[in-house]
Structure 1
């Protein structure tokens, strides 16, 4: 079993002073539609929602935002995605990245189950093979070299960094800070930092997905409350009483008012790049629990318009993957 990455005692943070202030990035897990409540399957999925990405892209462009679409194997082979997302990337309106869902990505040499849905639990040689196939597919179909990677289900492991370096990918964004997936067989990122740090100096940067804690106890150090936060009941009580609440910067399950509070906490804590994320099937009703109907979809877009307004009000400018690469890798 490939070990999950260990938190560093003294991470070497990226010097982000050259950015001239806080920035934000949108990373989209651009993946197949599947039943999140059903067992993992190699075939029970679709990519019909791909056409709905155009509305989201148009909204982003109206706010001068260039999202990063992190594409997995089914999407990388969808002709509609190749035309649509490839066009955005070649026009400089968006970036294309890589996202590995092992269960739908060849070679199919592992048993399909929960543990193996995390790439960090595969043998390193198999993780390397799957990532290489995916990288080659994206490079050939989209005629573009991807610079950013996210492990599906955030399942990065100790072998992942070397594989990314071999493929020439310079940014990893698999770390979901303040989340622990170990009870499901996945990584434990609870104590990981929010600011970008070097995994391999000058070659590979970690750009964590932004999740913050707010409440009267957050300055005491959230690790003190780790056991309490592992219980949904305890988390609910602590959030309702204003003691401690975890807020992920995503439109999926986080109301606009809470997300704005999360942005403010991140800015107070000096997070230099706010990394927003969501799953692309949420762009079309009926594929995720977050967007079940047209009314939910309109709330989804209202959420983003509110977020963009708040970021603009606070002087937080957008940044793209290409700009991050230019700033830190030359």
Structure 2
């Protein structure tokens, strides 16, 4: 959290307007909360809600893999956890959040309807081309859309909840075709042959994330170029604040993490600005722009 102070200068110089998805432990830590309040005073940040079930009170039994995903919890448990999260965000930052992200991704209709009931209007929990044993986002939309409250993967004519998927794709122009191939060569039966590694190192097929924790700047440039070719207008970068310190969980930031992410962000902003007219928006500002532009 302390690294957010110097990182603010990087964002300020570039004009970037971050959305801070804040979870309960961060909001409940006075030192961390003070950092966020300082950033908040600049008017450059949006404070959003980030629900990690295992560290957001109240607690129901011992944490486990299944219950670490919001979609697996009884909706009554999700609601009381959400209420506690919103309460502490209001107490610490004097703002009621309207944007939301689940911990560990994934969302379903019952959670989406709960968000609407509690005043949220923007969700950022969809992770395209990703699945686990609890949810599947392979058929998710890649561009922002007004989501159905019954099925968040579907578009709705009602403009109740705006979904902003994070930016994920491939080094092929046809992302969906690339994803079908990626799933085929990800088969456990083929794992002894290391087809994913072969596809990556030969540049035949690379799955790319607009996240400096997961993807090197060169590959993120490739993703941006492919997205532009596909006519996409919104680029949603994401990473954990812990990624700003040297972090063994980061694929590309094990050393010099702060400078790696800062340089990557600056490089990508310049690259995108060389190809398009760029406007920086927080999550809720994106929803407002989308509505006013009638997109």
With structure 2 as the length reference, what TM-score do the two structures score? Answer: 0.86
Which of 119, 126, 141 matches 1:175? Answer: 126
Question: Does the C-alpha gap of structure 1 residues 267 and 230 become closer, same or farther in structure 2, counting only changes over 3 Å?
Answer: farther
Give the Å deviation of 1:81.
2.7
Give the Å deviation of 1:226.
2.3
Give the Å deviation of 1:229.
3.6
Segments ≥4 residues shifted beyond 4 Å: 216-219
Q: Which has the bigger relative contact order, CA under 8 A and spacing at least 6?
A: 1
**Structure 2 residue 208 is matched with structure 1 residue 247:** yes
Larger deviation, residues 280-289 vs 123-132 = 280-289
**Structure 2 residue 222 is matched with structure 1 residue 261:** yes
Which of 176, 188, 199 matches 2:136? Answer: 188
Q: Which has the higher strand share?
A: 1
Give the Å deviation of 1:210.
0.6
Give the Å deviation of 1:252.
0.9
* Aligned twin of 2:99: 148
Give the Å deviation of 1:313.
1.0
Q: What whole-Å deviation, never above 9, does each CA across 1:265-310 have from its counterpart, x for those lacking one?
A: 11111222111000111112246434334x3432222211211111
* Aligned twin of 1:27: none
Give the Å deviation of 1:51.
1.1
Give the Å deviation of 1:171.
0.6
| Kept after mapping to 2: 8 A contact 1:217/1:243 | no
Larger deviation, residues 134-143 vs 237-246 = 237-246
- Identify unmatched segments of 5+ residues in structure 1: 1-49
Q: Which secondary structure does the structure 2 equivalent of 1:153 belong to?
A: coil
Question: Does the C-alpha gap of structure 1 residues 77 and 230 become closer, same or farther in structure 2, counting only changes over 3 Å?
Answer: farther
Question: Does the C-alpha gap of structure 1 residues 320 and 219 become closer, same or farther in structure 2, counting only changes over 3 Å?
Answer: closer
* Aligned twin of 2:113: 162
Question: Does the C-alpha gap of structure 1 residues 173 and 298 become closer, same or farther in structure 2, counting only changes over 3 Å?
Answer: same
* Aligned twin of 2:152: none
Give the Å deviation of 1:54.
0.8
Question: Does the C-alpha gap of structure 1 residues 139 and 276 become closer, same or farther in structure 2, counting only changes over 3 Å?
Answer: same
Which of 17, 21, 25 matches 1:74? Answer: 25
Q: What whole-Å deviation, never above 9, does each CA across 1:102-151 have from its counterpart, x for those lacking one?
A: 00011101431111111111111111111111111111211012121110
Question: Does the C-alpha gap of structure 1 residues 95 and 230 become closer, same or farther in structure 2, counting only changes over 3 Å?
Answer: farther
* Aligned twin of 2:151: none
**Structure 2 residue 185 is matched with structure 1 residue 222:** no
| Kept after mapping to 2: 8 A contact 1:213/1:245 | yes
**Cα distance in 2, alignment partners of residues 229 and 267 from structure 1:** 27
**Structure 2 residue 59 is matched with structure 1 residue 111:** no
Number of aligned residue pairs:
277
- Identify unmatched segments of 5+ residues in structure 2: 149-157
* Aligned twin of 2:15: 64
Question: Does the C-alpha gap of structure 1 residues 223 and 137 become closer, same or farther in structure 2, counting only changes over 3 Å?
Answer: same
Q: CA RMSD in A?
A: 2.1
| Kept after mapping to 1: 8 A contact 2:173/2:229 | no
Question: Does the C-alpha gap of structure 1 residues 68 and 120 become closer, same or farther in structure 2, counting only changes over 3 Å?
Answer: same
**Structure 2 residue 175 is matched with structure 1 residue 213:** no
**Cα distance in 1, alignment partners of residues 200 and 173 from structure 2:** 10
Which of 149, 154, 160 matches 1:203? Answer: 160
Larger deviation, residues 279-288 vs 106-115 = 279-288
